[in-house]
Amino acid sequence: MSGKAIQPTVFPFKMAPGETLKLRDYPDLELVDRVVSGTIKLFNIENEIQDKDRAVRIRRMAVERMLGQQVRNLPFENYDYNAIFGQCCENVIGYVPVPVGIAGPLLIDGKEYMIPMATTEGALVASTTRGCKVLSMAGGVTTVVTRDAMSRAPVLECPNVQVAAAV
């Protein structure tokens, strides 16, 4: 972050007597001030202002201010944050572009599928494609759902393998 101090935010409009201002009407820098001070929780910006793209931008500015440095190489624009909000990532400040290759076809339950794979590991997609070919030639893969659930469990750290085995 540059050595310049952020100037106090000035509201760019006048309010009528008795009119209340909603958080989404505040300028970005005022919202950043509120996030940094803890008045708005980092994880709750989207709910407070009802604009996911703007929330990512505000969170990013707040994190930059708290870290004292810019997050330059992490893209954040032109992404559909509606697809992830409340589903697969919290406190979003951007995204990581990862190359996506296609493996397959793989015969699964009698139907051929092409399998998208996001990876930066060289030869992984080609290797997986060879595995798909062998599995398909052997009659394919049959799937069965035995249980549909999610669990969260504690993690225990042990000083050595003997104690871990005893636990």
Tell me how far CA of residue 60 lies from CA of 4, 29, 63, in angstroms.
Answer: 18, 12, 5
Give the model confidence (pLDDT) of 86-132 as tens digits.
888 999 999 998 999 999 999 999 999 999 999 999 899 999 999 99
Name the average pLDDT for the chain.
88
Q: Which CATH number fits domain 1-97: 3.40.50.300, 1.10.3720.10, 2.40.10.10, 1.10.3270.10?
A: 1.10.3270.10
**Tokens of residue 42, six digits:** 């980092």
pLDDT for residue 27 is more than 70: yes
**Tokens of residue 140, six digits:** 């394919």
| Domain ranges, ordered by start, for the chain | 1-97, 100-167
- pTM score: 0.59
In angstroms, what is the C-alpha Rg of the chain?
Answer: 24
CA distance 39 to 45: 10
Q: ∠ at Cα 161 (157, 167), nearest 5°?
A: 60
Cα torsion angle, 25, 27, 32, 33, sign: negative
